[in-house]
Chains A and B, each alone.
Chain A
Amino acid sequence: MKKLLALVLVVGAMLFTGSQSFKAQDAEGDVLVGVWEPSHGKARVKVEKIADKYYGKIVWLREPNDPENGQPKVDKNNPDESMRKVPLKGYRILKDFTYAGKKEWVDGTIYDPENGNTYSCVIKAKDDNTLDIRGYIGVKTFGRTDVWKRVAVKK
């Protein structure tokens, strides 16, 4: 019985420390969570974590309405015609990022509502409040890096 208890404690300790390092990893990865503004200032994106991956949705648009019809902007350039009335406010433009350590999030995609293109994407945190977001096609060479800065709501 004593031996069994000892075994349980050891296994328990392993599981616990395992979860601790997971937590530390999580905490580092969670630096991505928050509200960010791309360099063009036309939108703000809120990044959150859903089931271990990071997703970002548009929460604010500088020009929320389409100048052509005065209605809130929708995803009119989506390659799938049936999805062209999805509103841009709340649109998930960053998807499926996993934290790869060293302040990098990989294997994600970024969607550009201006032309309906989805690009492979990697994110690097230059510091806690600045992100380098690189969207590319195929290899990272054929892409473009944009700088996003963290914003906080004024109290």
Chain B
Amino acid sequence: MKRLFCLLLFLQGGWAWSQVTDSTSEEEDEVDYGAVELVEGKSKTYANSRIVGTSPQRFVSVGWDLQGPYDMTFSPIASYPEGTDIPDIDQSTGRATYTGGFRLNANIPVISRNNLVWQLGATYWDTRYNINNIAGANSGSDVLRALNDRGMRTGGLNTTVYKPLNEFQFLLFQGSVDMSGDFGWGLQPYVRGSAAVLWGKRPNERKQWAVGLSRTYRVGAMNYIPIVLYNWTAPNRKWGIEALLPARGAVRYNIDRNSMLLAGFELEGQSYRLNGFLSQLRADQGSLEIRRGEIRPRLEYMRQLTGYFWLGVQAGYRINYSFDADVLPQGQEFFRGFFGTQPFAMLNSIGNAPYAQITINFVSP
């Protein structure tokens, strides 16, 4: 019996021994960790996609945008070379007492490695109008009523690819397709595409810049413009610049680890297709597109709520750049750029107004 017990104990002991043998009992033959060599292959260091101190990258953002009241003046739908003077009697007017709505932005990494970052994103912005005192009895006032009844929405999908070439250089590509207009649950016939390509450098962990070209709707109409990315953080990490010109730019002040203040501007815009206006237009079924573009100088306060959830509060002024409209035959886009002379279908103007926006954001560490 004793022998049996001893045998079992021996075997048990053997098993336990194999459990606690660990590598800390190996020879410590590493002496100087400064003098090492890679066991195999070459190690490549790649430029990180971000620099220190910037405002957090938002994975998901939900919020509400609200504008103060302003006047709207719309022309009838016809054909106007730019700068045409439209007699007051033809204009339709209204006062927008409420302009606002829900905004959702998402940007999710699909691949996130040290040598490639690929993100897919979606946006959905809904703007509703309350337009009172609509005066006029022509297509201009019809459009005002359409905005009042249905508002405008933009939904889109986008993708961003960040590819570092080496420790200091990188390429950036962004592309998106957007569907904008007063659509309801159904899809609308036309989508608009935008894209940007940049090449840049990240000389150190506090500075990053890039230059490139983009096709954009930011000021309402479709344009090809050069763009510049510039991100910088001061050595004391209290100040910084975050800019993607001309789309947006800001000066940043880091109050502490969990809150910051940004002062800057952003250009917003899209080309919105309004339904229900085909019968008023030419026989070629043109689509009426409002080329909405606005400049928003603003102050933004960002603060960590808990964990990776941050609050963003913006207050600023919405300056109207364009609310003119074009008729696009079969929805086919055309390029006017800054110098084209193609006539507009509507020459509209809206007053400027203060605005505020509040967002809750799920951010990246």
User: Which A residues fall within an 8 A CB radius of B?
Assistant: 4-5, 8, 11-12, 15-16, 18-19, 22-23, 26, 30, 33, 35, 37, 39-41, 44, 46, 48-52, 59-60, 112, 114-115, 117, 119, 129-130, 132, 137, 141-147, 149-154
Contact = CB atoms under 8 A, between A and B. Distances in A.
A8 B8 contact: yes
Nearest to A152: B39
Contacts of A16: 11, 14-15
A22 B11 contact: no
A137 B59 CA distance: 12
A146 B115 CA distance: 8
Given A16-B15, A145-B113, 12 more contacts: A19-B14, A23-B18, A37-B43, A41-B45, A51-B20, A59-B30, A129-B40, A137-B365, A144-B117, A145-B112, A150-B39, A151-B38
Contacts of B335: none
B43 A49 contact: no
B11 A48 contact: no
B37 A151 contact: yes
B365 A115 contact: yes
A39 B8 contact: no
Interface residues of B, number: 43
Interface stretch (B21-29, B63-71, B176-184, B188-196): B21-29
Interface of B: 4, 7-8, 11-12, 14-15, 18-20, 22-24, 29-41, 43-46, 48, 52, 59, 108-109, 112-115, 117, 308, 364-365
A76 to B, nearest CB: 12
B173 to A, nearest CB: 19
B349 to A, nearest CB: 44
A138 to B, nearest CB: 8
Nearest to A135: B365
A60 B34 contact: yes
A35 B30 contact: yes
A35 B36 contact: yes
A1 B40 CA distance: 58
B32 A142 contact: no
Contact of B33 (A11, A40, A59, A147): A59
Contacts of B38: 37, 129, 149-151
Contacts of B40: 129-130, 149-150
**Top 10 closest pairs, chain A to chain B, by CB:** A60-B33, A151-B36, A49-B22, A19-B15, A145-B113, A12-B11, A150-B39, A144-B112, A33-B23, A129-B40
Given A12-B7, A48-B24, A149 B43 contact: yes
A149 B39 contact: yes
A19 B12 CA distance: 10
Contacts of B31: 153
Contact of A50 (B24, B30, B45, B48): B24
Contacts of A59: 30, 33
Contact of A44 (B33, B46, B52): B33
Given A46-B30, A52-B19, A145-B114, A5 B4 contact: yes
A25 B85 CA distance: 83
Contacts of B24: 48-50
Contacts of B36: 35, 37, 44, 60, 151-154
Nearest to A49: B22
A143 B35 contact: no
A147 B113 contact: yes
Contacts of A150: 38-40
